[in-house]
Each structure stands twice: as structure tokens, then as C-alpha cells.
Amino acid sequence: MSFNGNGDRKRFDEIRSRLAGESPTVLSDEQLLTMLLGPGTRGLAADAVARGIVSSSGGARGLVDLSHQELCALEGVGPAKAAAIQAAIELGRRALAGVYPGSRLACSADVYDAMWPMMVREHSEVFACALLDAKLRLIRAELVSRGTLTASIVHPREAFRPAVRGAASGVIFAHNHPSGDPYPSDEDRRITARLEEVGRILGIPVLDHLILGTRGEYFSFADSGQLEPQTSGYRGMVLR
């Protein structure tokens, strides 16, 4: 690891010492980024690079919304540092998920906890599925498609492919509304009805379809009574 002069190394070592001796929560966004990025580049000290990133993004929350290309466009940030930032964000996202393969999804709140990390950074609509075993334990969550939610984008063949391939006993679908309003559109209702019908044909029941908004808001087709009740443990029993 090389630094741009003794001052760069000294500032880096000071932050590292604080991180070792105190809680990371006492460090500013700029200091945390300095530790993550390591030495400066192209004649810029590490803390100067971090300061520029924080200024351009508005802080840690804004970093989540920057693409790899946008990060690379910031002064002192090349592909390697951009990748390091994105890797750290993804690790944090996974740590916050709180729902892992083997976790039981017994209600819509459980599903929300499992699915929101996949969608929190998205500015366009994404459609995903959660595959469940016979005891409603999560096999895995998987992204199905990205783009405006239409029947052509979310074709039942594509939507159920992960469930068929994964030998799932049940499936739950979810997509986001980048507008922040989780209330279902007419198209959302049509697609949900179609997916429910295909699930019956395949013998893979659709237990729920969630629409995720912002600020922790979501809409559940099962909770609202717009999905035909299944003989399942979703909110109470075990898949038969």
C-alpha cells in the first residue's frame, strides 16, 4: 500500500487507530471512506478523495444510488476503488437483510424483510421471487426481470423458471414501485391473477405477491384478500 506523502499516511493511520479503539459509529462518512479506499491516487490524498465522494454523493445514503460508471467519474476514483465501494455496500445490504436461506417466511412482513434488500437501490421496476420449501423455509430469493412491469416483461414462463428449477413447493413474488407508492395498478392485478392461475396449473402455489414502496411501506395481495387462500403455512399452516 503506497501513500501520497507522509501526511496521507498519518491521516490514514489516525483513522485506523480510532477504528480499532472505538466504535465505527463515531467515524464520519468521509473517514469510513478513507479507510475503505486506502491510499490516494493520481496525486490526491486518500481523505481528499473521500471528501470529494461525500460532497458529490451527499453522504453514505447517496453512495447507494451511484452506478459503477458514476463512481468512476468522480475525481480520484478508478474502477478498483469504485468496485471496492460497491462491494462494501453490497456486504452491508446482505448483513441488513436479516432473512437467509432456511428462514421461515410465515407472513408478508417476513417476505418484505427478505426482498427489500434486492430492491432498495433500484430506480426502475424489478421483479423477483422467493422460493419456499414445504415448510415455508426460504430456499433462495432471485431476481427475475428488470424494467417496466408489463405482461411482456414478466412472462409466467420466466417468473416460474426459478421455482421449477429449484423444485420449490411454493413461490412468492415481489416487485417495487420506484414512485414510492405501493398501491397496485390494474396491470399489477392482471399479472398477479395470471401468475396465480399458472401456479395452480404447475402445482406451485403463489402464496403472495408484494409491491414494495418506500419508507417500509408495502402492499400484500394475500393480506388484502386478492389471492385465493392456499392450503399452506403462510400465516399459519404447512404446505400439503
**Residue 71 and residue 133 share a domain:** no
**Residue 216 and residue 115 share a domain:** yes
How confident is residue 80, by pLDDT bands cut at 50, 70 and 90?
confident
CATH number at residue 64: 1.10.150
Q: Evaluate if residue 163 carries a pLDDT over 50.
A: yes
236 inside domain: no
Total Cβ atoms within 10 A of residue 96:
11
pLDDT digits (tens, 9 = 90+) for 28-37: 888 888 888 8
**Residue 210 and residue 118 share a domain:** yes
Distance between alpha carbon 8 and the CA centroid of its chain, in Å?
35
**Residue 175 and residue 128 share a domain:** yes
64, three cell numbers? 447507494
**Residue 163 and residue 121 share a domain:** yes
Domain that holds residue 174: 99-220
| Number of structural domains the chain divides into | 2
**Residue 110 and residue 196 share a domain:** yes
Residue pointed to by grid coordinates 467519474: 73
206, three cell numbers? 403463489
How many Å apart are CA 195 and CA 160, to the nearest integer? 8
174 inside domain: yes
Q: What predicted TM-score, i.e. pTM, was given to this entire model? A: 0.67
Domain-terminating residue out of 33, 66, 96: 96
Q: Give strand ranges (E) for 193-237.
A: 206-212, 218-220
237 inside domain: no
Q: Looking at per-residue confidence, does 234 or 109 come out higher?
A: 109
Lowest mean pLDDT among 60-69, 89-98, 141-150, 182-191: 89-98
Short-list 146, 114, 95, 129, CA closest to 207: 129
Q: Evaluate if residue 74 carries a pLDDT over 80.
A: yes
66, three cell numbers? 451511484
How far CA 232 is from CA of 29, 32, 107, 145, 184, in Å, comes to 46, 46, 11, 27, 24
Residue pointed to by grid coordinates 423458471: 161
144 inside domain: yes
As a whole number, the mean pLDDT across the chain is 83
User: How much of the chain, in percent, has pLDDT values that exceed 70?
Assistant: 85
Phi, psi of 141 (to 5 degrees): -110, 140
Top mean-pLDDT range of 147-156, 201-210, 213-222: 201-210
At 19 the pLDDT is: 78
232 inside domain: no
**Residue 139 and residue 76 share a domain:** no
At 112 the pLDDT is: 92
**In contact, 202 and 168? CB cutoff 8 Å:** no
Q: Evaluate if residue 97 carries a pLDDT over 90.
A: no
Q: Evaluate if residue 204 carries a pLDDT over 70.
A: yes
183 inside domain: yes
